[in-house]
Chains A and B, each alone.
Chain A
Amino acid sequence: MKIFIYILSFIFLIFNESKSIDFSELKTKNTSFWFIKDNSIPIISLSFSLRGGSSQDPDGKEGLSYLMTSTMDEGTSKFNGIQLRQFKKLNGIKLNISTQKNKIEGSFQVISSQVEQGFELLDQVLNFPKFDKSDLEKVLKQMEASLKIDQSDLSTLSNNKFNDIFFKNNNFSKRIKGTQKTLNNITKDDLIKHHKNSFNKKELHIGVSGDISEKSIKKYIEKVFGKFSIENVKPNFEKFTDLPRGQKVIELDTPQSSVVFGHPGLSRSDKDYFSLRLANYILGGGGFQSRLYKQIREKKGLVYSIYSYPISYKHDGFMMGGFQTRNNSVFDTIDRVKDEWSKMSKQGITKKELDEAKAYYKGSFTRNFTSTVSIANLLNIVQFYDLGKDYFSERDKIIENLKLEDINNMIKKKFNKDNLFFLIVGSPEKKR
């Protein structure tokens, strides 16, 4: 095998002065995508997303999307599973398709000298999966084992239980992997139909970064994504109304309890989105600096890890948090979380805290530009959430212009300790 010496002589900065980045919006016949050429390393990275995901699984067939994305690379019209995996190895191809609550996401990479083979494989997996009965059975067995392993993992278990209760009647309550029972209801025809529905152009977004020319990447994008159907099967997203409050205990024999908590939030398109993010950064986000971290871990040593974060989708959002603590300190810790919540709504945040949070959000953004994978991913996400072509230059200004008074008003409206819901899994000791 020939090993070529590649010297990093093509070093260049993709940043201009204002920290925005130069990408091109490219169009093929009926597919558009965002692209940044980067030949500092012989890799091409592509990231795509399709609105939909596990929330769209039919009732009684929860887990359908996950099963589909897990089975697509088990065999295609041209390759069986073994051939496919050998082909990936031989050509330095990485491909991962995954299901999330609100989308299907794909990450694809290939060594640039093998670009033809790479897109050939991507085309096969995305457009011609076979869903053979034997492959399906195999993946179902693996999912069955994985569901069982999840049940002995305290953190996954508590997140699943939280999911079931917190989202109640909303289609977000559908578990991504489904359950043993719902998985058994899924047929090959379901997968074929779901594949056709999911991989459509209307809900598709693509970002690419790497060592390839504009002309070539257009050709390959058209070859692969040009085949997606243009029928629009519009996904249905329901607002998070009537979220539960209070607390619920699920008994389990463990030395420590896992607590997951939730609270209403904001959608990604809400004008207060950044205010919420910065406010949460101060309360329960950000490294070793948040109030929850300082009060509950650093000062009291009650937990190893404690956090909160906003999850904002296009249609709506919520806030979530969690910690694990010894059974005898569960309710004490919950009280402390509530205290921080009410301190937040009563006193808001200080000018100093806001300035530091702003500095963090402005400074941390550049980390997204350190690899072709993260660049491709970012290009994809900005399109997915409709943040606009000028997002890269506007983001800093949006953050800089946030006013303390406005944020504190938002906090007063949004952060209400009585809206918190705590799910506890373990054997918590009642307060004496």
Chain B
Amino acid sequence: MNSKIIFLSVLSMLLTFSYDVFAKAKKFTLSNGMQVVVVENNRAPVIAQMIWYNFGSNVEQKGKSGLAHFMEHLMFKGTKKHPDSYYSNFISKIGGSENAFTSYDYTAYYQIYPSEHFEKIIELEADRMKNLTLTKKNVEIEKNVILEERFQRIESDPSSLLDESMRSILYPNHPYGRPIIGWKHEIMELNYDDVKSFYKTHYEPRNAVLVISGNINLKKAKEIVKKNFSKIKNSNTSKFKETLDPNLNSQVFVEKKHSTVKQDIWKKLYRADSYNKSIKRGIALDLGMKIIAGGTSSLLYDEFVNKKKIFSMIGGFYQGLSRGEGYIYFYAIPNEKIEPKKIDNLIMKQIKILVKNELSLKRLETEKKKYFYDSIYRMDGILKPSEIYGEALTVGLTLSEVENWNKNLDDITIELVKEEMLKFIENKNYVIGSLQN
């Protein structure tokens, strides 16, 4: 209930990504630039509503890490018309649920509620885009909450501390290298003026994608959304500019030792092209990674867990849904103590063999089937479709790219998958991490 942030802290990011061909979303754009997507599903009289802002920690100025997430917490503090926790209280009273999360590329707020209250919730959401009444006291108290959050999520967890260091090395220049929640010393320095100016600059209709999924039709959605959001004006035109990272020229091993660690864990994090560069290549890489390293049916798992019994678990995945570069993540849990460098050699040697000899058409066809089935499962429910459209549109993909996602499957050949996997093997932009006692 209280989770107000998404950490792309690697172990938790096992979400895969594939789209469905049959969720017919409808989209319209308001004159102020706000995009609205409606996914009708009348199974139950419930709506899942999400407003996605196309910025996250990526737009923070240097020295102000944690500001986007801080702002997200403060969005619950009330407006002049609906003061204090009026909004949250209203959601509770109607049996709804709500939360919000901040990531590198986006900040999103969602509510799941009985559809009869659609109009009121839209009014409340529109109100807090520009009319928040913040006090210095709000800011100071919330800062303590956020510091507690940082202690709970990061500082008490050696594995998260390791991820944080690994990212800071992998992205030496891009904001992706800074923790979403912020560095402790920078959170402590954030103040009322920082927050005010962040809110004013970024919370704008032109930066928002509203997704409404569930028991709602397009006509009604259009009418109510227009009534409430159209009048909101953009106050500036500042554009976000993507920073690029240099190629990493040295090999970096990060070691995190901590007294509470009882199990060694080996991790490896790569930068990789995102879906924004090529959806087809992204899917090919995703499928290749699934064959080699996805779950308990992967080739690596079979080799190292079933046969050689070197690791109790091994896995990896590609995440390409980002505005900047995507990433590839690997982890292994050794049965006995092994040097991290040796683990890396073992795994990389095996991946080369597998890509050369075991990437077969039959395996690809099986993965494609699963990919397609997974996209059907994603349509069971109302929150997932909102997440899919919201996330994709805020990182820069289009509605038609989302809707035609699975059509790419037909064009993905085993040769293309091999090509992507070979590119991955040659990729030098990585960091290796090791968690030890």
Among B401-429, those with CB < 8 Å from A are: 406-407, 409-410
| Contact between chains at A288 and B88 (CB < 8 Å) | yes
Check A151/B381 contact, CB under 8 A, given A1-B365, A305-B2.
Answer: no
Among A242-269, those with CB < 8 Å from B are: 252-256, 258
| Contact between chains at A152 and B94 (CB < 8 Å) | no
The distance in angstroms between the C-alpha atoms of A137 and B45, with both chains bound, is 49
Among B28-75, those with CB < 8 Å from A are: 40-46, 48
What residue of chain B has the Cβ atom nearest to residue A149's Cβ?
A: B263
Among B114-143, those with CB < 8 Å from A are: 114, 140-143
- Residues of chain A with a CB closer than 8 A to B42's CB: 11-13
| Contact between chains at A370 and B142 (CB < 8 Å) | no
Check A89/B89 contact, CB under 8 A, given A151-B260, A363-B95, A369-B44.
Answer: no
Q: B211-227 CB contact bits vs A (8 Å, 1 = yes)?
A: 00010000000000000
- Residues of chain A with a CB closer than 8 A to B76's CB: 288
User: Which segment of B149-157, B236-244, B277-285 sits at the interface?
Assistant: B149-157
Q: A297-308 CB contact bits vs B (8 Å, 1 = yes)?
A: 111111111110
- Residues of chain A with a CB closer than 8 A to B22's CB: 5-8
- Residues of chain A with a CB closer than 8 A to B265's CB: 149
| Contact between chains at B309 and A138 (CB < 8 Å) | yes
Minimum C-beta distance from A145 to chain B (A): 4
Q: B363-392 CB contact bits vs A (8 Å, 1 = yes)?
A: 001111110111011011111000000000
Among B149-183, those with CB < 8 Å from A are: 149, 151-153, 155-159
Check A303/B94 contact, CB under 8 A, given A13-B44, A288-B76, A370-B46.
Answer: no
We find that the number of chain B residues with CB closer than 8 angstroms to chain A is 86
With beta carbons under 8 angstroms apart, the residue of B23, B114, B377 that contacts A109 is B377
The distance in angstroms between the C-alpha atoms of A359 and B305, with both chains bound, is 51
| Contact between chains at B93 and A300 (CB < 8 Å) | no
The distance in angstroms between the C-alpha atoms of A13 and B112, with both chains bound, is 18
| Contact between chains at A89 and B24 (CB < 8 Å) | no
The distance in angstroms between the C-alpha atoms of A371 and B43, with both chains bound, is 8
- Residues of chain B with a CB closer than 8 A to A14's CB: 43-44
The distance in angstroms between the C-alpha atoms of A141 and B306, with both chains bound, is 11
| Contact between chains at B376 and A367 (CB < 8 Å) | no
Q: Interface residues of A toward B: which range?
A: 35 or more
Instruction: Give the A-binding residues of B (Cβ under 8 A).
Output: 1-3, 21-24, 40-46, 48, 76, 85, 88-89, 91-98, 112-114, 140-146, 148-149, 151-153, 155-159, 214, 258-263, 265, 295-297, 302, 305-306, 309, 312-313, 333, 335, 365-370, 372-374, 376-377, 379-383, 406-407, 409-410
- Residues of chain A with a CB closer than 8 A to B214's CB: 370
| Contact between chains at A360 and B151 (CB < 8 Å) | no
Known: A255-B156, A304-B151, A326-B151. 7 other contacts (CB 8 A): A1-B369, A43-B380, A82-B297, A86-B366, A288-B2, A298-B85, A369-B46
Minimum C-beta distance from A321 to chain B (A): 13
The distance in angstroms between the C-alpha atoms of A360 and B93, with both chains bound, is 5
Please report the number of residue pairs spanning A and B whose Cβ atoms sit closer than 8 angstroms.
237
With beta carbons under 8 angstroms apart, the residue of B1, B92, B333 that contacts A356 is B92
What residue of chain A has the Cβ atom nearest to residue B335's Cβ?
A: A141
| Contact between chains at B376 and A304 (CB < 8 Å) | no
| Contact between chains at B380 and A141 (CB < 8 Å) | no
What residue of chain A has the Cβ atom nearest to residue B99's Cβ?
A: A287
What residue of chain B has the Cβ atom nearest to residue A258's Cβ?
A: B156
| Contact between chains at A152 and B148 (CB < 8 Å) | no
What residue of chain B has the Cβ atom nearest to residue A84's Cβ?
A: B297
Q: Is A324 an interface residue (CB 8 A)?
A: yes
Q: Is A24 an interface residue (CB 8 A)?
A: no
What residue of chain B has the Cβ atom nearest to residue A305's Cβ?
A: B2
| Contact between chains at B151 and A111 (CB < 8 Å) | no
- Residues of chain B with a CB closer than 8 A to A42's CB: 376
| Contact between chains at B95 and A362 (CB < 8 Å) | yes
- Residues of chain B with a CB closer than 8 A to A81's CB: 296, 306
With beta carbons under 8 angstroms apart, the residue of A90, A145, A304 that contacts B366 is A90
- Residues of chain A with a CB closer than 8 A to B93's CB: 356, 359-360, 363
Q: Is A223 an interface residue (CB 8 A)?
A: no
- Residues of chain A with a CB closer than 8 A to B85's CB: 288-289, 294, 298
What residue of chain A has the Cβ atom nearest to residue B87's Cβ?
A: A288
| Contact between chains at A94 and B369 (CB < 8 Å) | no
- Residues of chain B with a CB closer than 8 A to A8's CB: 22-24, 40-41
| Contact between chains at A367 and B151 (CB < 8 Å) | no
| Contact between chains at A89 and B45 (CB < 8 Å) | no
- Residues of chain B with a CB closer than 8 A to A302's CB: 144, 148
Among A1-44, those with CB < 8 Å from B are: 1, 3, 5-8, 11-15, 38, 40-43
The distance in angstroms between the C-alpha atoms of A149 and B176, with both chains bound, is 27
Minimum C-beta distance from B100 to chain A (A): 10
| Contact between chains at B367 and A256 (CB < 8 Å) | no
Check A373/B97 contact, CB under 8 A, given A297-B145, A301-B142.
Answer: no
Check A367/B21 contact, CB under 8 A, given A89-B370, A303-B148.
Answer: no
Q: Is A232 an interface residue (CB 8 A)?
A: no
Q: Is A365 an interface residue (CB 8 A)?
A: yes
The distance in angstroms between the C-alpha atoms of A152 and B369, with both chains bound, is 38
Minimum C-beta distance from A258 to chain B (A): 8
With beta carbons under 8 angstroms apart, the residue of A149, A298, A367 that contacts B141 is A298
Minimum C-beta distance from B354 to chain A (A): 15
The distance in angstroms between the C-alpha atoms of A13 and B45, with both chains bound, is 8
Among A338-388, those with CB < 8 Å from B are: 356, 359-367, 369-374
Minimum C-beta distance from B380 to chain A (A): 5
Q: Is A148 an interface residue (CB 8 A)?
A: yes
What residue of chain A has the Cβ atom nearest to residue B97's Cβ?
A: A287
The distance in angstroms between the C-alpha atoms of A15 and B43, with both chains bound, is 8
| Contact between chains at B141 and A85 (CB < 8 Å) | no
- Residues of chain A with a CB closer than 8 A to B407's CB: 3
The distance in angstroms between the C-alpha atoms of A153 and B12, with both chains bound, is 14
| Contact between chains at B1 and A307 (CB < 8 Å) | yes
Minimum C-beta distance from A353 to chain B (A): 11
Minimum C-beta distance from B279 to chain A (A): 16
| Contact between chains at B151 and A324 (CB < 8 Å) | yes
Check A145/B263 contact, CB under 8 A, given A43-B380, A138-B309, A326-B151.
Answer: yes
Q: A217-243 CB contact bits vs B (8 Å, 1 = yes)?
A: 000000000000000000000000000
The distance in angstroms between the C-alpha atoms of A298 and B379, with both chains bound, is 36
The distance in angstroms between the C-alpha atoms of A126 and B102, with both chains bound, is 41
The distance in angstroms between the C-alpha atoms of A255 and B306, with both chains bound, is 39
Check A371/B381 contact, CB under 8 A, given A92-B370, A92-B376, A304-B149.
Answer: yes
Q: Is A106 an interface residue (CB 8 A)?
A: no
What residue of chain B has the Cβ atom nearest to residue A365's Cβ?
A: B95
| Contact between chains at A364 and B306 (CB < 8 Å) | no
| Contact between chains at B296 and A85 (CB < 8 Å) | yes
Among A104-122, those with CB < 8 Å from B are: 109, 111
What residue of chain B has the Cβ atom nearest to residue A6's Cβ?
A: B22
| Contact between chains at A363 and B366 (CB < 8 Å) | no
| Contact between chains at A149 and B262 (CB < 8 Å) | yes
Q: Determine which residue in A298, A304, A324, A365 has the highest number of CB atoms from chain B within 10 A of its CB, and name it.
A: A304
Q: What 6 A-B pairs have minimum CB-CB distances, sorted nearest first?
A: A363-B95, A301-B144, A92-B373, A148-B263, A85-B297, A364-B95
